[in-house]
């Protein structure tokens, strides 16, 4: 795998000729060897149509292409970094949490409404994630940023995991997510426990949760 | 049943029993959980009056159910404290979770509270069980014995337990008044026998400015 964790807030990536790497623009801290950084106007891969798609959906983050041969260190804003290895499955993550990912991964944009219908859209609004999210699919590694440490919780059939929408970072695998509400009369009169909305994840995979309820 | 998942996430395994936690601090759970708001400062009407008067209103929720519940708050470091019938004094903003069997109350701290930027009152946790307290950075645990009193910066103090007397001490001198102070004009002095939790960070306090 091309990513090596130096400490909890820095990673080192190895690039070799013919291998591409995408990273958030400006996230490079240091590099060794002959490495070039090209701003990627398209904000990822997939050609012109995908670029339009990302622009329209607000999932466009300034990315850059990293090529050459050498090692590059990445880090951003003092955030904790979690490296996730994908083996053919799909990772769902917010575009602004992406620090770097393998060029071999297929990038896409998903409409929240397509999973969970209207509730999916409500979910996006409630969690402040908007109506769209970024997907990465294939074999390779992804470096994701989070505020505070990240814990990985496995999801297996019959063992649903509920996550605070603000602490949710990413998930992968065959996972269905829906917004569950536990809004009772106590919330209406302002005596809620602060846990009225939760993401209910079921299926087979894993979810990453950060130790904080702050957005990046 | 309290365990740490990393240094910033608290995992609590519940088997039908309950736990009290800071409002809104749940980040994830599996199994079945219910969340109900409680209020700090003790139970009943007396507790309500106390909260109103002291401003030490930590909003607490009671979590009960079966499964594992994960708590975290603003990426603070979490420290576990085991209580065996003794009393823990902690700033309300630094208390993350306690066993449901522990009693929480409010006590007057005097001048110290005003200088530590936390108000004049502090929260007490009493009984037998576990509590989780938060600190900005990993906290150090300092022992106080009758021979060795301890001085702590009010902004770095988070909690103490045991049989301790605390005094507020000021090192204000001519230089301080001239605006040439060292920034360490006030300290809390602990005497007796017990433990003090200190964080490697300072809250904004009156003392820190002079």
Q: How confident is the model at residue A77 (pLDDT cuts 50, 70, 90)?
A: confident
**Residue A51 placed within a domain:** yes
B66: closest chain A residue by CA: A159
Query: Residue B185's domain is classified under what CATH number?
Result: 3.60.160.10
B27 touches chain A (CB under 8 A): yes
**Residue A199 placed within a domain:** yes
Q: What pLDDT sits at residue B52? A: 62
Q: Is the pLDDT of residue B170 over 90?
A: no
B72: closest chain A residue by CA: A211
User: Which residues of B are less than 8 Å from A161 in CB distance?
Assistant: 28-30
Contacting A residues, span 73-132, partner chain B, CB-CB under 8 Å = 80
Query: Residue A34's domain is classified under what CATH number?
Result: 3.60.160.10
User: Which residues of A are less than 8 Å from B59 in CB distance?
Assistant: 194
Q: Comparing A68-77, B21-30, B55-64, B136-145, which segment has the lowest mean pLDDT?
A: B55-64
Candidates A1, A5, A2, A16; CA nearest to A145 is A5
Q: Is the pLDDT of residue B196 over 70?
A: yes
Contacts 24+ apart (CB under 8 A), A124-127: A126/A165, A126/A179, A126/A197, A127/A165, A127/A166, A127/A168, A127/A197, A127/A199
CA gap B74, B136 in Å, rounded: 9
Number of domains present in the structure of chain A? 1
Interface test with B, best of A151, A195, A208 (most B CBs within 10 A): A195
For residue B206, the surrounding DSSP H or E stretch is helix B206-209
A119 φ, ψ to 5°? -60, -35
Query: Among partner residues A149, A159, A162, which is closest to B6 by beta-carbon distance?
Result: A149
Question: Which residue range is the domain that position A179 belongs to?
Answer: 3-210
Q: How confident is the model at residue B149 (pLDDT cuts 50, 70, 90)?
A: very high
B176 touches chain A (CB under 8 A): no
**Residue A119 placed within a domain:** yes
The answer to whether the Cβ–Cβ distance between B61 and A194 falls below 8 Å is: yes
For residue B174, the surrounding DSSP H or E stretch is helix B174-177
Tell me the torsion sign for CA atoms B49, B50, B56, B58. Answer: negative
Q: Is the pLDDT of residue B39 over 70?
A: no
Q: How confident is the model at residue B92 (pLDDT cuts 50, 70, 90)?
A: confident
Structure tokens at A6: 């130096």
Question: Which residue range is the domain that position B184 belongs to?
Answer: 2-209
The answer to whether the Cβ–Cβ distance between B27 and A186 falls below 8 Å is: no
Tell me the torsion sign for CA atoms B93, B95, B100, B102. Answer: negative
A161: closest chain B residue by CA: B30
Contacting B residues, span 50-89, partner chain A, CB-CB under 8 Å = 59, 61, 70, 72-75
Query: Among partner residues B37, B73, B75, which is closest to A191 by beta-carbon distance?
Result: B37
- The distance in angstroms from the start CA to the end CA of chain A is 26
**Residue A215 placed within a domain:** no
Q: What pLDDT sits at residue B193? A: 93
Residue B23 neighbours by CB distance under 10 Å: 18
Structure tokens at A27: 């996230």
Cβ-Cβ contacts under 8 Å for A92 (sequence gap 6 or more): A110, A133, A134, A135, A170, A171, A172, A175
Cβ-Cβ contacts under 8 Å for A30 (sequence gap 6 or more): A72, A73
Radius of gyration of chain A from Cα atoms? 18
CA angle A200, A202, A207 (to 5 degrees): 75
CA angle A14, B8, A5 (to 5 degrees): 10
By the 8 A CB rule, do B41 and B57 touch?
Answer: yes
The answer to whether the Cβ–Cβ distance between B75 and A210 falls below 8 Å is: yes
The 10s digit of each residue's pLDDT in A121-152 is 665 665 555 667 788 999 999 999 998 889 99
**Residue A59 placed within a domain:** yes
Number of domains present in the structure of chain B? 1
Q: What pLDDT sits at residue B147? A: 93
Structure tokens at B46: 């007396």
List residues bridging with B5 in a β-sheet. Answer: B9
Q: What pLDDT sits at residue B114? A: 53
User: Which residues of B are less than 8 Å from A182 in CB distance?
Assistant: 34-35
The answer to whether the Cβ–Cβ distance between A164 and B8 falls below 8 Å is: no
By the 8 A CB rule, do A175 and A155 touch?
Answer: yes
CA gap B89, B105 in Å, rounded: 10
- The full 3-state SS of B81-108, as one line of letters, equals EEEEEEEEEECHHHEEEEECCCEEEEEE
Chain B: closest CA distance from residue A94 (Å)? 18
Query: Among partner residues B28, B37, B61, which is closest to A209 by beta-carbon distance?
Result: B28
């Amino acid at each position: 795998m091309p990513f090596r964790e130096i400490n909890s807030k820095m990673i080192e990536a190895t690039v070799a000729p013919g291998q591409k790497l995408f990273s958030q623009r400006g996230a490079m801290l240091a590099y060794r060897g002959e490495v070039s950084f090209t701003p990627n106007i398209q904000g990822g891969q997939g050609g012109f149509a995908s670029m339009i798609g990302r622009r329209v959906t607000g999932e466009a983050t300034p990315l850059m292409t990293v090529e050459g041969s050498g090692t590059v260190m990445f880090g951003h804003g003092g955030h904790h970094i979690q490296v996730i290895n994908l083996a053919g499955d799909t990772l769902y993550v917010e575009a602004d949490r992406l620090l770097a990912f393998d060029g071999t991964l297929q990038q896409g944009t998903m409409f929240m409404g397509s999973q969970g219908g209207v509730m999916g859209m409500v979910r996006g609004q409630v969690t402040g994630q908007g109506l769209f999210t970024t997907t990465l699919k294939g074999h390779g590694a992804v470096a994701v940023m989070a505020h505070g440490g990240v814990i990985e919780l496995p999801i297996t059939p019959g063992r649903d995991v509920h996550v605070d929408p603000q602490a949710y970072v990413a998930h992968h695998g065959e996972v269905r997510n829906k917004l569950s509400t536990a809004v009772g009369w106590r919330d209406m009169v302002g005596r809620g426990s602060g846990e009225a909305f939760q993401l209910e994840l079921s299926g087979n995979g894993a979810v990453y949760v950060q130790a904080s309820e702050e957005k990046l | 049943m309290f365990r740490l998942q990393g240094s910033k996430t608290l995992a609590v395994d519940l088997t039908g029993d309950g736990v009290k936690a800071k409002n809104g601090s749940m980040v994830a759970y599996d199994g079945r959980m219910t969340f109900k708001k409680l209020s700090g400062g003790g139970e009943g009407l007396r507790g309500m009056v106390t909260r109103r008067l002291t401003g030490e209103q930590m909003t607490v929720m009671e979590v009960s159910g079966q499964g594992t519940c994960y708590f975290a708050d603003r990426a603070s470091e979490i420290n576990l404290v085991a209580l065996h019938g003794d009393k823990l004094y902690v700033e309300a903003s630094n208390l993350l979770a306690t066993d449901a069997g522990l009693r929480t109350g409010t006590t007057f701290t005097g001048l110290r509270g005003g200088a530590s930027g936390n108000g004049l009152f502090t929260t007490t946790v009493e009984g037998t069980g576990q509590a989780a307290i938060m600190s900005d950075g990993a906290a150090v645990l300092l022992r106080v014995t009758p021979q060795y009193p301890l001085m702590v910066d009010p902004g770095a103090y988070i909690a103490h337990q045991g049989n301790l007397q605390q005094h507020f001490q000021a090192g204000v001198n001519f230089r301080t008044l001239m605006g040439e102070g060292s920034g360490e004009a006030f300290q809390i002095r602990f005497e007796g026998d017990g433990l003090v939790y200190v964080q490697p960070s300072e809250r904004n306090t009156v003392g820190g400015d002079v």
